[in-house]
Structure 1
Amino acid sequence: MENRTVERMLYAEVVDMGGMPVRQPFPTQKVEQIDPFLLLHHHAAKIPERAVPHRSGVGPHPHRGFSPVTFVYKGGVHHRDSRGNDSVVYEGGTQWMKAGMGIVHSERPPADIQDRGGEQEIIQLWVNLPKSHKMNQPEYIPLQAEDTPVLEMEGGKVKIKVVTGDFGDTAGPIKTPTPILALRVEMQEGSTYSFPIPKDFNSFIYLLDGRIKYDGFGEVDGHHLLVLNNDGEGCTITAKKDTRLLIMAGRPLNEPVVSHGPFVMNTQTEIMQAMRDYQMGKMGILVE
């Protein structure tokens, strides 16, 4: 298998998102998007015991035109939305929401967060929707850890959770309108594995922690993201320390992207329409 080379390495700087510190490797001034992926936020925090869960986290806000995806690593996320969905996804699970024509949702710690250690760690990834699906009806998919296929390689030293897409003979449960491969990977120190990636997919690797050696590039520490070139069929990784990785790959949309806050469309006119529709209540109302 020919190894993909690294286009660039990005450090996940800490930014303030409405009072919540998050690490954001992209977008940056250098990399606006990794088509079809628009944004990645990595958030880890201790929830104070005095905090009221249903008043913590992120309150009601709208989205249109893309899929906000939340990978839950510690604790849980309580999702509510204007379409009546009310669900808690716990550690190891993923919530995939296709915002489509518009939805209002909130993401807060679950009521039992302190019983689970009081920590919350998540990655939120914005995945663009193609023009033909931007105005579809919204869809919310809660995928719990126990419903996510897990492959164990190298004698159990490499664990691969397949969230969406085809990985060998294993298919991820979440279906997407364009081909996406989402792998949640844990590697023990000293293990090596080669991950196949479809040649026409754009791809990146984000390290939540630990350290790896990327074949042909060198060592990479946690909180860094590797943008890969489309010049090979996969990537070979050796864990220098115990490491958690998010490997994402997807067929690029090659469509114009115009965004404003929580709306991602193809033209400025569509953004203006999204703002009007939200103000008029056409995306629904969420009363918690």
Structure 2
Amino acid sequence: MSPHRSVKTVLYADLKEMGDVPVRQPFPSVHADRIDPFLLLHHLQVQVPDDRPVKHAGVGPHPHRGFSPVTFILKGGVHHRDSRGNNSVVWAGGTQWMHAGRGIVHSERPPEGIFEKGGEQEMLQLWVNSPAARKMEQPAYFALHAEDTPVVHSVDGLVRVQVIAGELNGTQGPIPAITPVNTFVARFSRGGRFYFPLPPAHNAFIYVVNGVVKVEGGSVYTALHAVVFGNDGEGIGIAADEDSVVLVASGQPLNEKIAANGPFVMNTETEVLEAMRDYQMGKMGILIEE
């Protein structure tokens, strides 16, 4: 088997409006469906409005069931509250990983103090599907701060990789993903190179947040592009033509039927309807923001 995976497809992150929040979404799109077990990727970059309290900005209370919404904070911070009583702020370099399980209501607002840090928010949100056997487990929330995130460096010191979930070169990520998943945030200085060994059975992609990178076995890719790989190699080699930030993700495919409607991702339409009913009946809890 080749040491380098081939490039299967390249996806541009089109701009979409999610309510009044503009986000970029490389997948799913008209060009590509989900990348099992990854359901969706959003890239948000906004200046927080300073003409209203931060508790009225961002994303207000909304439900989820059946998957894990994961937020990688690149700039600024996020204040998370949910119907299970979790209440935390995670700043740039940190990650919020929530197993929605049988159902949870949460909000994601800018934190107090964000204007002292420039008032900008940039983050990625990746939805990771849960297998049918674990969709109705109790929800769980994990706040991983930058200082608690393990880092792997390249030999030349030009690449710094945060290991959030999974394993990289013997370093284990702290997040207990419920299926085999690797998520890394890599920051390249110009000229930096790094090889990411990945399980051949995993589906894998990278997303170029900013900068320009060259992929071994592929081509040159600029910001706002997701590169999806085939399952024909032992890993992915990346070299940076300029300072760059890249999300690297791989996961064991679930190969299960998906029925989805908005914030609910289940296996049958009946289960989606049950999720809607349970949310309306308050079975996912209630979030009252103070």
Pick the TM interval, shorter chain: over 0.9
- Counterpart of 2:138? 137
Mean alpha-carbon deviation: is it higher for 244-253 or for 190-199? Answer: 190-199
Q: Distance in 2 between matches of 1:195 and 1:139?
A: 29
- Counterpart of 2:235? 234
User: Contact 2:9/2:227 (CA < 8 Å) preserved in 1?
Assistant: yes
- Correspondence list, 1:185-200, <5 A: 185-200=186-201
- Counterpart of 2:284? 283
Q: Distance in 1 between matches of 2:90 and 2:194?
A: 29
1:23 corresponds to 2:24: yes
Give, as a single letter, the amino acid of the residue that structure 1 aligns with 2:20.
G
Give, as a single letter, the amino acid of the residue that structure 1 aligns with 2:234.
E
Structure 1 residue 3 displacement after superposition: 0.3
Deviations 1:192-238 (A, max 9, x none): 22111111100000000100111121110000000000000001111
Q: CA RMSD in A?
A: 0.8
Mean alpha-carbon deviation: is it higher for 150-159 or for 181-190? Answer: 150-159
Give, as a single letter, the amino acid of the residue that structure 2 aligns with 1:171.
Q
Q: What TM-score do the two structures reach when normalised by structure 2? A: 0.98
Structure 1 residue 32 displacement after superposition: 1.5
- Correspondence list, 1:106-125, <5 A: 106-125=107-126
Name the count of aligned residue pairs: 288
Structure 1 residue 176 displacement after superposition: 1.3
- Counterpart of 1:162? 163
- Counterpart of 1:58? 59
Structure 1 residue 166 displacement after superposition: 1.2
User: Contact 1:154/1:191 (CA < 8 Å) preserved in 2?
Assistant: no
Give, as a single letter, the amino acid of the residue that structure 2 aligns with 1:123.
L
Give, as a single letter, the amino acid of the residue that structure 1 aligns with 2:29.
T
* Unpaired runs of at least 5, structure 1: none
Q: What TM-score do the two structures reach when normalised by structure 1? A: 0.99
- Counterpart of 1:208? 209
The share of aligned pairs that are identical, in percent, is: 54
Structure 1 residue 106 displacement after superposition: 0.2
User: Contact 2:154/2:193 (CA < 8 Å) preserved in 1?
Assistant: no
- Correspondence list, 1:88-107, <5 A: 88-107=89-108
Q: Distance in 1 between matches of 2:219 and 2:178?
A: 35
User: Contact 2:11/2:31 (CA < 8 Å) preserved in 1?
Assistant: no
Q: Distance in 2 between matches of 1:52 and 1:43?
A: 20
Mean alpha-carbon deviation: is it higher for 29-38 or for 2-11? Answer: 29-38
Partner-residue secondary structure (3-state), 1:115: helix
Deviations 1:13-58 (A, max 9, x none): 1000001100000001232200000000000111132231111000
Q: Distance in 2 between matches of 1:78 and 1:48?
A: 16
Give, as a single letter, the amino acid of the residue that structure 1 aligns with 2:232.
D
* Unpaired runs of at least 5, structure 2: none
